[in-house]
Structure 1
Amino acid sequence: MINNIGKDVMKYKVIDPSDDHLSPKSGTLPYGTTMIKGKVWITFKNSMTITLQIPILLSSFTAIDGRGVNVHITGAGCLLVYQATNIIIHGLLIHHCKAQSPSTVMGPNVKVIPLGQIDGDAIRLVTARKVWIDYNTLYECQDGLLDVTRSSIDVTVSNN
């Protein structure tokens, strides 16, 4: 995760808690995780609750940093790290995530991706590498809180 720093990292601030999963607008968390190519460090302007219609897929080299504010993420599926590397998830409150029927989502690097059934975990890692999940509060999700599957490696879960 040392590659998530440096002058080539785009700093992006979330100012809008809305969720349009196929056409994310600038200022939202889905926009920061899917529409910005390259390394991105995401922060939040103020405390907010983001209610998801479908899970957010995280791109490689993405840091979501909730320090200094109370950011609640709730709704369908919550956060999904699928075949991505160098991810930091820090300081979020993720709860009441629900299972999701198969659907389509805007994925990393502006690609529309079909999703199968989503279980309802707070954070799900599928074939992910170099992931740090730190100082988050995870609770009351339909399936579980953290699901690390399909040969995900180099995953650190600390202080949650």
Structure 2
Amino acid sequence: MPHTELVAQDVHRRINASRRNLGYLSCGTGNPIDDCWRCDPNWDKNRQRLADCAIGFGKDAAGGRNGRIYVVSDSGDDDPVNPKPGTLRHAVIQEEPLWIIFNRDMVINLKQELIMNSFKTIDGRGASVHIAGGGCITLHYVNSVIIHGIHIHDCKPTGNAEIRDSPTHSGFWTVSDGDGISIFNSKHIWVDHCSLSNCHDGLIDAVHGSTAITISNNYMTHHDKVMLLGHSDEYTQDREMQVTVAFNHFGEGLVQRMPRCRHGYFHVVNNDYTHWEMYAIGGSAGPTINSEGNRFLAPDNRASKEVTKREEAPEGEWRNWNWRSEGDLFLNGAFFTQSGAASASPYARASSLSARPSSLVGSITISSGALICRKGTRC
């Protein structure tokens, strides 16, 4: 793309951002991410506008902004060491910023985990894209990735194999955990409007010094250990981790870890919790958890009404962990056990956006998961 056109696009985006800040382009859903781009029936002509819409700790995830559009036209994954042009694997390993889209509906069954390079957007809008039944997505020592609008399910452990991770390098990877999205020592990551279910380990796990992450507008179902944020109690480098979990729907068939946090700072805001079997929000190793404006519908089982669960610690220890509930809505006997500081200041590093009232959670999250988007109409 000519440099002048890139500059013009950038100016256009900045004007739109200014208008949004003034409220001119609000669609009135109350969801600030969706109100930023879903009003535009010509979203497909300016896909990269999406990159201006991130909020929370992952707000600086540029993905493939200002890069060229890469169209995935081949759902195959025949050779993870020498991927064919036109495949998703070929797209995500490139060194340059890329905005990756799909020319049709497809189910991508990956032979091995998909090792992404930095500055990439996977944008499933306009097609029904499933990554399913094999390896799934790995972000390993990368920066600035957006994953939007895809279905990720039935992920399996893969590995003990050579996999290409850049145009000039492939390496041997040990057996993967079978996560939907595995984030390892990576930052500026935004996972938005994805539908995730039924993976071998976690749906989304962020570990080993990962930070600056937003997980928003996703629909998660039919899974045990949903989301792990923090590698282990002993891995103290995760003390700097900051993750926003916002506007998600935690739906049927979920058991626990929505999320399970260690060490860092976690803003859990305006999510709809309609199903859990054991607990919703858990943690160990002294994380700071700021729960604001969520809706918690407890299961009928009397033993599972509590939203929170402290792991691996006696009460004398966890009483000092900073966990607070502010403006949450509790239904069917749900309750949140608070601990630590009552004042606001310890939660400053776990605050990333302004919570909407919990009474609006239903409308804010009604479109969670992968959207059905058609060119020429609003998503």
- What range describes the TM-score normalised by the shorter chain of this pair? over 0.9
Shift of 1:37: 2.3
Does the CA-based 8 Å contact 2:63-2:145 persist in structure 1? no
RMSD, aligned α-carbons = 1.2
Q: Is it true that 1:39 corresponds to 2:110 in the alignment?
A: no
* CA radius of gyration, larger in: 2
Deviation track 1:4-25 (CA, whole Å, cap 9, x = no partner) reads: 322xx12100001000211101
* 1:4 and 2:64 aligned: yes
* Corresponding position of 2:208: 150
* Aligned residue runs from structure 1 range 80-119, under 5 A: 80-119=138-177
Q: Which has the higher contact order (CA 8 A, sep 6+)?
A: 1
- Is contact 2:134-2:155 (8 Å) kept? yes
For each residue in 1:107-142, what CA deviation from the matched residue of structure 2 results, as whole angstroms up to 9, or x when unmatched? Answer: 034310211220101100000100000000010111
Q: Which shows bigger deviation, 94-103 or 63-72? A: 94-103
Question: Is the contact between residue 50 and residue 73 of structure 1 (CA under 8 Å) also seen in structure 2?
Answer: yes
Q: How does 1:127-146 map to 2 (within 5 A)?
A: 127-146=185-204
Verify the 8 A CA contact 1:97 1:122 in the aligned structure 2: yes
Question: Partner of 2:90: helix, strand, or coil?
Answer: helix
**1:85–1:131 contact (8 Å) kept in structure 2:** yes
After TM superposition, the runs of 4+ consecutive aligned structure 1 residues lying more than 3 A away are none
Determine the structure 2 residue equivalent to 1:73: 131
Distance 1:3 1:142, change over 3 A: closer
Deviations 1:57-76 (A, max 9, x none): 11000000001110000133
- CA deviation vs aligned residue, 1:68-106 (integer Å, no higher than 9, x gap): 110000133300000000000000001010012421101
TM-score by length of 1: 0.94
Q: Which residue pairs with 1:29 in the alignment?
A: 88
Q: Secondary structure at the match of 1:4?
A: coil
* Structure 1: runs of 5+ lacking an equivalent: none
Normalised by the length of structure 2, the TM-score is: 0.40
Asked if the contact 2:131/2:153 (under 8 Å) is kept, the reply is: yes
For structure 2, the residue ranges without an aligned partner over 5 or more in a row are 1-60, 219-379
Residue 120 of structure 2 is aligned to residue 62 of structure 1: yes
Structure 1 123/3 Cα, relative in aligned 2: closer, same or farther at 3 Å?
A: closer
Of 73, 76, 97, the residue aligned with 1:18 is 76
Q: 1:3 to 1:81 in 2, by over 3 A?
A: closer
* Separation in 1, partners of 2:98, 2:159: 29
Amino acid at match of 1:24: P
The answer to whether residue 81 in structure 2 is matched with residue 49 in structure 1 is no
**Structure that is richer in helix per residue:** 2
Letter in 2 for 1:79: I
The one-letter code sitting in structure 2 at the alignment partner of 1:116 is: T
Deviates more, 1:101-110 or 1:111-120: 101-110
Read off the aligned partner of 2:75 and give its amino acid letter. P
How many residue pairs get matched? 157
In the alignment, the residues of structure 1 paired with residue 159 and residue 98 of structure 2 have an alpha-carbon distance, to the nearest angstrom, of: 29
Paired residue secondary structure (2:89)? helix
Deviation at 1:3, TM superposition (A): 6.5
Q: Is 1:14–1:43's contact at 8 Å kept on the other side of the alignment?
A: yes
